[in-house]
């Protein structure tokens, strides 16, 4: 099989579900690494990205609780960088262990990645990206009273969460360095948490209070490094239409045109599947013959063996 360059986007909720301790998240990533190492065993060049929604929200809460005049809480862009570092450390540690177990010789390195956004993106006045823990209907009143400057919404039937601006990425500052790592046989972990959102002001990149959707950031990176495949991992093996209804249907191989029709029919939930579908479409449309795949982490083996999952083609 021809060696492929593959960007795999992993969700932040896959790393942190209920137990927010470092030990639990490290164990989740050790479990994840067992699946990801299959790409390396097959000889593919792998670039890993990940979300950070739960982690960055929790970090902001921890900082707010301990903030003083002499030791103030850090802004959101810095908190994104901090979670890039912590999750990247856990992931490179776990993946390195699995690579060694497989008898392979590969380094894994985390890149603190700056992702460029447009300063006048409308997202800055319309926060939509959920971060942090879920709150029940009973809890949310007191939370809103305590943080009147923050916005909270109901998130896909799972409870209430804080939402922050989520501008679209226009570039990835470190893509050439990431490319060079891949060429050198290194596995980069990059655009973690969607990357640190920055805008260009003269020669300076200035951080912004936002969290970029990791699927869109992964798509932009996949474009820039000329990836053959963008794999967006989610909770289900396939994209479905009429999801959770008696006539639900799984999509296996689907064209961009078909997916756009399904988007027009409101087939995909805005807070969960829709951005994954949109990122997949963007990559297929803008790459040089690349394909996108939406499937689950647990289905990676079946995808590599039989092509199982939803494969999006031009």
Concerning whether 13 is annotated as a catalytic residue, the answer is: yes
3-state per-residue secondary structure call for the chain: CCCCEEEEEECHHHCCCCCCCHHHHHHHHHHHHHHHHHHHHCCCEEEEEECCHHHHHHHHHHHHHHCCCCCCCCCHHHHHHHHHHHHHHHHHHHHHHHHHHCCCCCCEEECCCEEEECCCCHHHHCCCEEEEEEECHHHHHHHHHHCCCCEEEECCCCCEEEEECCCCEEEECCHHHHHHHHHCCCEEECCHHHCEEEEEECCEEEECCCCCCHHHHHHHHHHHCCCCEEEEEECCCCEEECCCCCCCEEECEEEHHHHHHHHHCCCCCCCCHHHHHHHHHHHHHHCCCCEEEEEEHHHHHHHHHHCCCEEEEC
Concerning whether 12 is annotated as a catalytic residue, the answer is: yes
Out of 57, 276, 290, 291, which one is annotated catalytic? Answer: 276
Out of 11, 12, 57, 132, which one is annotated catalytic? Answer: 12
Concerning whether 101 is annotated as a catalytic residue, the answer is: no
Concerning whether 309 is annotated as a catalytic residue, the answer is: no
Out of 13, 93, 179, 302, which one is annotated catalytic? Answer: 13
Say how far apart CA 152 and CA 140 lie, in whole Å.
8
Concerning whether 245 is annotated as a catalytic residue, the answer is: no
Out of 52, 57, 132, 214, which one is annotated catalytic? Answer: 214
> What count of Cα atoms within 13 Å lies in the side-chain half-sphere of residue 80?
31
Query: Is 33 within 8 Å of 95 (Cβ atoms)?
Result: yes
Out of 51, 57, 129, 194, which one is annotated catalytic? Answer: 129
CB neighbour class for 213 (10 Å; exposed up to 12, middle 13-18, buried from 19): buried
Q: Which residues are annotated as catalytic?
A: 12-13, 129, 214, 276
């Amino acid at each position: 099989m021809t060696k492929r360059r593959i960007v795999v986007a992993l969700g932040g909720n896959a790393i942190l579900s209920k137990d927010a301790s470092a030990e639990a998240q490290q164990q989740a990533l050790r479990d994840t690494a067992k699946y990801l190492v299959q790409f390396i065993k097959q000889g593919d060049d792998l670039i890993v990205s990940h979300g950070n929604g739960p982690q960055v929200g929790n970090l902001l809460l921890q900082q707010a609780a301990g903030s003083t005049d002499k030791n103030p809480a850090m802004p959101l862009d810095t908190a994104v960088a901090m979670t890039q570092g912590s999750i990247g450390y856990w992931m490179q540690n776990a993946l390195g262990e699995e690579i060694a177990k497989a008898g392979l010789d590969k380094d894994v390195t985390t890149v603190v990645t700056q992702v460029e956004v447009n300063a006048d993106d409308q997202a800055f006045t319309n926060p939509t990206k959920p971060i942090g823990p879920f709150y029940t209907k009973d809890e949310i009143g007191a939370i809103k009273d305590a943080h009147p400057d923050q916005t909270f919404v109901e998130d896909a039937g799972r409870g209430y969460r804080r939402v922050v601006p989520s501008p679209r990425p226009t570039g990835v500052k470190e893509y050439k360095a990431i490319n060079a790592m891949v060429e050198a046989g290194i596995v980069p972990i990059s655009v973690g948490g969607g990357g640190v959102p920055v805008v260009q002001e003269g020669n300076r990149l200035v951080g912004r209070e936002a969290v970029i959707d990791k699927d869109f950031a992964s798509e932009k990176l996949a474009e820039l490094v000329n990836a053959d495949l963008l794999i967006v991992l989610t909770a289900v093996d396939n994209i479905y239409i009429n999801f959770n209804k008696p006539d639900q249907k799984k999509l296996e191989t689907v064209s961009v045109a078909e997916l756009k029709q399904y988007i027009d029919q409101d087939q995909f939930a805005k807070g969960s599947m829709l951005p994954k579908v949109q990122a997949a479409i963007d990559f297929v449309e803008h790459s040089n013959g690349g394909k996108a795949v939406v499937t689950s982490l647990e289905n990676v083996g079946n995808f590599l063996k039989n092509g199982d999952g939803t494969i999006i083609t031009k």
